[in-house]
Amino acid sequence: MMTNNTTNIKNTFFSYFVLFLWGFAVMDVGLGQNTTLDEIKIGVVLDLKTNFSKICLTSINMSLSDFYQTHPHYRTRLALHVRDSMKDIVEASDAAYDLIKKEQVRAIIGPRSSMQAEFMIKLANKFQVPTISFSATSPLLKSIDNPYFVRATIDDSFQAKAIAAIVKSFGWRSVVAVYVDNELGEGIMHSLSDALEDVRVQRSVISPEARDDQILTELYKLMTKQTRVFVMHMASDLGFRVLKKAREIGMMEEGYVWLLSNGMTRMMRHNGRSLETMQGLLGVRSLVPQSKELEDFRKRWKRKFEPNVFALWAYDSVTALAMAVEKTNTKAYMRRTYGQHLLESLSSVEFKGLAGEFKLINRQLESSTFEIINVIGDEERIIGIWTPTSGLVNAKSNETTSFLGKRFGPVIWPGNSTAVPKGWEFPTCGKKIKVGVPVNKGFLNFVEIKTDPISNVTTATGYAIDIFEAALKKLPYPVIPQYYGCKSSYNDLVYQVYEGKWDVVVGDITIIANRSSYVDFTLPYTESGVSMIVPLRDNKNKNAWVFLKPWSLDLWITTVCFFILIGFVVWLFEHRVNTDFRGPPHHQIGTSVCFSFSTMVFAHREKVVSNLARFVVVVWCFVVLVLTQSYTANLTSFLTVQSLQPTTTNVKDLISNGESVGYHAGTFVRDFLRDLNFPESQLKSFGSAEECDDLLSKGTSKGGIAAAFDEVPYLKDVVSQYCPKYAMVEPLFKTAGFKPSFKTAGFGFAFPKNSPMIGDVSRAILKVTQSKEMSLIENKWFNRLGLASDCPGQDTADLSSNRLSVSSFWGLFLIAGVASFLALLVFVALFLYEHRHTLCSNSEGSIWRKLKSLFRIFDEKDIKSHTFKSSAVHNVSSPITPCTPSPSNVQIRPLPRCMSLNREFELRRACFSMSEERFRTQPKQDKQGGSDIEFGAERQREVKQTP
């Protein structure tokens, strides 16, 4: 028993002894550390009277306490010196100057706003004191331009792409950016405009000191506009005042869209605001990943407000600064280079903070991921996520989505609506649109403006007006057009739409590239292109050379050249093996040419015996077949329409002959003709169909024009009125290397850029043009005299130079040429191989003599050819050959050794031929005489008696 008590006492004493030693050691370490700590003065500039700054200052103190509690071995400590900026820019700068000069702080945390930071950064740069801001988000505060400025928060420009992704995903074509008139608001606009490059961005600026009545005035202006999508970016206090007034006047009802930026979204619950007044709002906010440290931080928060993201960034900023100070060389404490060393250390700090990964790139916090939230009841529902790399991502499945085809869940819009707002409505002032109409002096059937002198009411009529009003009737909403006449040029009229004078311009407005830079056009409602009309002339029975017109001159020349080429090639192949292609030179030339040209009617008499010649002739006959059939068809066309022919179709001829041409006054056609190199002296304008007819009737010689250039709808109008006299033709410009474009997009209606009506009106125009209503409108304005169907000129309206040219058959000529060339190569190769001994023989002498020998051989018959061999055999076997060798009456003299065997064969064959000829030419014995055999025997006896 005593032993156990003694043992317990010893254990207790040992435990107390160990505890005493541990306490002493801790005490000793603490005393030792306190005596060697380096205190670094850090300034803090905040608006201390605001709840925002109080929350952030509390987070800063908690950060220091937590950091040094977990890092007791650090030999540096941050000593905070706090100053109140009193919500004033000057006071903030004065506080920073006081901290730098009197307290000699080595870094400054703050200030709260971007406006205050702008001036403080200049002081920091001057005295080389790093300034770390966790709430100055304006993109105008660039770290690159301010080397001692560190942004420990997310730049507002990063959220611009997230906002643009939301706008584009719902198909909204126009938004109004409602922002505060200072650096905070202006900073995001450039980034937002770039991100919304395909969306029209209008601006609504509100002063930071705006009163409630001024806010209402600006909101009433927004109600009169069509756009119903509003993107808000301003300080939270001012922003929620604007939202409150918007709800009061009915701008938080169905059809409206409010999209809040990161700063406002993060401050929704600040100061105990109720989310019931923000039902249906969308917002973007930087993503704060959940962590155990963040949860512990929130539990330790004793106030009734939940810490916002800026308080988290303030917490992380102080942690990063404490780590950087520890890394910085303390020997540089008293030197001016300390600030530079501190920046370098701070830039290398990386850790996982309460707000996420803390990593500075170019002294700025790395781009963040944004959540897309929807306010429903008292809840901020996350409906999606946007990342810089993947764009919109489904928050649940983590899959990329277009946000239109794959919803994250039912979105509740203002007015508790689940239907996606179309983003625009007609203004509340009567739903009327101002329509600008050009005042024309001519072509009034397109558009005509009239004003009643008594009632002063302006009305518009015409082809374009009827189509526009027909399209408006097909819109899913009522539109009341109010027409206003304008005497400006077409370009000025379009530019007035860009300036906002008109809601739309209706009339004969041509869609061209430079105009589309300022406005958006609907789909065209007329045919496109520029053409010309020329007078028609009666050529019936007046042109004896009409048979030459189906082919152009170049095609005639090319065909003749190929006929000669084919004749030469066939002669080349047949000359040595075919007696039809032998004889005197003039006979051979005539035979070859006649043979080639006779293939045109497939009546060639000569037979070809060479396989190469047959190959070439077969290919050429195919080419001739296509040529003759095309010529026949085109000649038929020319003979049937030759009664009315256009005077010209070639633009080059008009220029070179000095002919005057006309153009529609006030249109772009004048510049178009000048681009075609028409001299100014050859250009004359007309303003109506009557003026155009007068100028064309006079002609160039009498001060008129030879042709009129204009857009197809205008020219059709002229032809419909004067169709027996004129025809619309496609202008040609036959110049090598130059082919001008006569294409335009036609007539359309001009709306402001990104107008919400542009798509609906374009679809309505398609419905009109594809219905019977279009033909009724056309007949109303362009067929009033009933000429369009019976006009003889309409048959030649599309008449132009229909001559066939080489370009139509170059493929055929290529085939014939290649076939001839290949056959020629084979022939030459075989000939040279056959007579290679002549080329290789040394007895012939020079190359020239060898070539002469080859040409001489080529001119001779090819006795080895099967054609000559067959005839020779036939002659030898004939029973009546008078030169049949007989030992009694024929003496055969030996030939010289130098004579070749071929030459010997030729002489013997000549002998047989001569004898046979003499035999045929002798008169035969009459009926009373002997037979032919007897006559032959008698002739043999005469030969014997001849000395």
Mind listing the pLDDT tens digit for each residue in 590-641?
A: 777 777 777 776 666 677 778 888 888 888 888 888 888 888 888 887 777 6
Q: pLDDT at position 742, please?
A: 62
Cβ atoms 537, 647 nearer than 8 A:
yes
Residue 32 banded pLDDT, cuts 50, 70, 90:
very low
Which two tokens mark 748?
């359309």
Q: pLDDT at position 60, please?
A: 92
Residue 938 banded pLDDT, cuts 50, 70, 90:
very low
Query: Is 861 or 55 the better-scoring residue by pLDDT?
Result: 55
Got the DSSP string for 543-576? -TTGGGTTB-HHHHHHHHHHHHHHHHHHHHHHTT
Query: Is 776 or 9 the better-scoring residue by pLDDT?
Result: 776
Q: pLDDT at position 913, please?
A: 53
Cα-based torsion angle of the residue sequence 174, 179, 181, 185 in order, rounded to the nearest 10 degrees? -100
Q: pLDDT at position 316, please?
A: 93
Residue 796 banded pLDDT, cuts 50, 70, 90:
very low
Domain ranges in the chain are 38-153+290-365, 156-289+369-394, 433-528+747-783, 533-538+645-743, 546-641
Residue 217 banded pLDDT, cuts 50, 70, 90:
confident
Summarize pLDDT for 706-721 with one digit per residue, the tens: 899 988 888 888 888 8
**What CATH number does the domain located at 38-153+290-365 have?**
3.40.50.2300
pLDDT for 549 beyond 60:
yes
Which two tokens mark 761?
């009106």
Query: Is 875 or 591 the better-scoring residue by pLDDT?
Result: 591
Q: pLDDT at position 84, please?
A: 92
Summarize pLDDT for 808-867 with one digit per residue, the tens: 888 888 998 898 899 889 888 888 887 777 777 666 567 777 777 777 777 777 666 666
> What is the average pLDDT score of the chain?
78
- Span 526-539, average pLDDT: 80
Q: pLDDT at position 788, please?
A: 41
- 306: buried, middle or exposed (CB in 10 Å: 19+, 13-18, 0-12)? exposed
CA dist., res. 910 & res. 672, Å (int)? 79
Q: What is the model's pTM?
A: 0.50
Topology match between the domains 38-153+290-365 and 433-528+747-783: no
**Opening angle at CA 463, ends 461 and 468, nearest 5:** 80
Cβ atoms 53, 15 nearer than 8 A:
no
Query: Is 660 or 444 the better-scoring residue by pLDDT?
Result: 660
Q: What are phi and psi of 350, to 5 degrees?
A: -140, 130
Got the DSSP string for 807-818? HHHHHHHHHHHH
CA dist., res. 531 & res. 657, Å (int)? 20
- Per DSSP (E only), the strands in 327-421 are 350-353, 356-359, 370-376, 379-387, 391-393
**Domain at 433-528+747-783, CATH homologous superfamily:** Periplasmic binding protein-like II (3.40.190.10)
Q: Which of 327-331, 360-364, 793-797 has the lowest mean pLDDT?
A: 793-797
Cα-based torsion angle of the residue sequence 389, 392, 396, 399 in order, rounded to the nearest 10 degrees? -60
Side-chain half-sphere CA neighbours of 378 within 13 A: 3
pLDDT for 749 beyond 90:
yes
Summarize pLDDT for 905-922 with one digit per residue, the tens: 555 555 555 555 454 544
pLDDT for 162 beyond 70:
yes
Q: Which of 52-56, 396-400, 409-413 has the lowest mean pLDDT?
A: 396-400
CATH number 3.40.190 is the correct assignment for the domain at 533-538+645-743: yes
pLDDT for 687 beyond 90:
no
Query: Is 929 or 778 the better-scoring residue by pLDDT?
Result: 778
DSSP conformation class of 770 = T
Query: Is 641 or 145 the better-scoring residue by pLDDT?
Result: 145
Which two tokens mark 15?
């435990």
Please state which of the four CATH numbers 3.40.50.2300, 3.60.15.10, 1.10.240.10, 3.40.50.170 is assigned to the domain occupying 156-289+369-394.
Answer: 3.40.50.2300
Q: pLDDT at position 367, please?
A: 72
